Homo-oligomer: A and B are copies of this chain.
Amino acid sequence: MSFDPATLRYNDQGLIPCIAQDEEGGVLMLAWMNAEAVAQTLETGRVTYWSRSRKAFWVKGETSGHLQELVDLRVDCDRDCLLAIVRQTGPACHTNRRSCFYTAIREGTEVELMAPVDQ
């Protein structure tokens, strides 16, 4: 079945969440796409989100160099969430950590699991 980004289910702001996971299985981040960002990601092979704060397309790594090269894009059963398998250059997180999910909640306490990567 041919794919049309318009067939995904977007929220009332026209956005769908996209999880980025590296090829080794690490979940790196979650960000949002609109239909045009989904189309651009597929066309260019560079994962492109929609920045809700800047209200602009956000080619991941365009300024930092920490690009996400698309390996595979998956849609969930409800068509309201995406999973991008990516080849991540450098850290995915703006704090210079590999993943944005570097804080665990253990026994009621926040524990930091990952240090920033040296640049």
A61-119, CB < 8 A from B: 72-78, 81, 83, 93-95, 97, 100-106, 108-110, 113
- Which residues of the other chain, B, contact A45 by a CB distance below 8 angstroms? none
- Which residues of the other chain, B, contact A78 by a CB distance below 8 angstroms? 100
Cβ contact of A104, chosen from B21, B27, B73, B95, cutoff 8 A: B73
> Top 10 closest A-B pairs, CB basis?
A25-B25, A76-B100, A74-B101, A83-B101, A30-B81, A77-B100, A1-B110, A75-B103, A3-B105, A73-B105
Residue positions of A touching B, CB distance < 8 A: 1-3, 17, 19, 21, 24-27, 29-30, 42, 72-78, 81, 83, 93-95, 97, 100-106, 108-110, 113
6 contacts between A and B (CB under 8 A): A1-B110, A2-B110, A19-B27, A29-B76, A42-B105, A74-B101
